[in-house]
Structure formats: C-alpha cells, structure tokens
Amino acid sequence: MPRGSFLKRGSSGSIDFVSPLPCPFNYGAVPTHLGREGDLLDALVLGPRLRYGTRTRVKAWGAVTLTDRGLSDDKLVCSHRPLTQGDIRKVLRFFHFYAKCKGLLNLVRRRPGRNACEGWCSAAQAFARARPLPAAWTGSPVEF
C-alpha cells in the first residue's frame, strides 16, 4: 500500500477495504515470515511514497503490536535511517487511531473481538513471535 493510498490490500493482493483517510506510511509485508495471526508479517516503511508492488530491503527499527478482533499482530516499522522519538510517536498515534477505526468497521461487519494498539516493541521481539513462511502456505486463515 503506497503512502497516501486509500486502498488496503491483503497478502493476496485483493482489496480488504477502502479507507476514508490516506495511509501516512508505505505499508507492506515481509514475504518470508508469518505474523501471529497467520498472514504475512506486516511492515511499514517510513519515507517517500513507494509504488505499489515495490520490493525493498530496509532496516526494521521496532514494531507496533495491534490487536484486531482479538488477534494480536506485529507491524515492523522500517526506515533507511534511524527513527526519531517523533517518528515513533507519529506511528503510535496512527495505530491508536487505526485500531479505533477498525473497531468501528468490525462492528459494522459484525466481527466481534477487541481492537487496540498495544504499543511499541523491538524488531527482535516481533521477529521472535513471527515464524518462517511454510512452503505449503496458501494464504491467510483469517478473513479480513
């Protein structure tokens, strides 16, 4: 999902939902690891807008843990430069707001479960909770 996009896509490339607000970050996934909910490990890349489908290697400086419908999942926060405290505050502010929006969307979709931003953790902690992508993986087991 390029920075500024309104379309949120899943790991299959299909559109999950159309956001009323543009995403302030480039939002993608690590193609070699699964997050705790069984989908590709999410990663956001700070910096200029990247085209849809761009593959890049960039350092993960930390992660945000988000709970959506009771399923906790980490989102790596990546950048070509070290993060500032302002960067971290901006990311956390976005995900606190995003969790509230997802909670409302899930209510409309009649999908129960808690929605919340659980806060910041290290990239090492997020990778420790992730698992390598199995060869037989065919997509997320959770409907988003």
Q: State how far the Cα of 96 lies from the Cα of 116, in Å rounded to an integer.
A: 7
What DSSP state is assigned to residue 84? P
In the chain, % of residues over pLDDT 70 = 99
Report all structural domains of the chain as residue ranges with CATH numbers, in order of start: 7-131 (3.90.80.10)
Question: Residue 144: pLDDT band by 50, 70, 90 thresholds?
Answer: low
Q: State how far the Cα of 76 lies from the Cα of 66, in Å rounded to an integer.
A: 11
pLDDT tens digit string along 27-62? Answer: 999 999 999 988 999 999 999 999 998 999 999 999
Question: Residue 21: pLDDT band by 50, 70, 90 thresholds?
Answer: confident
- Where are the extended beta strands (E) located within 19-89? 26-34, 40-45, 59-68, 71-79
What's the mean pLDDT in 81-96?
96
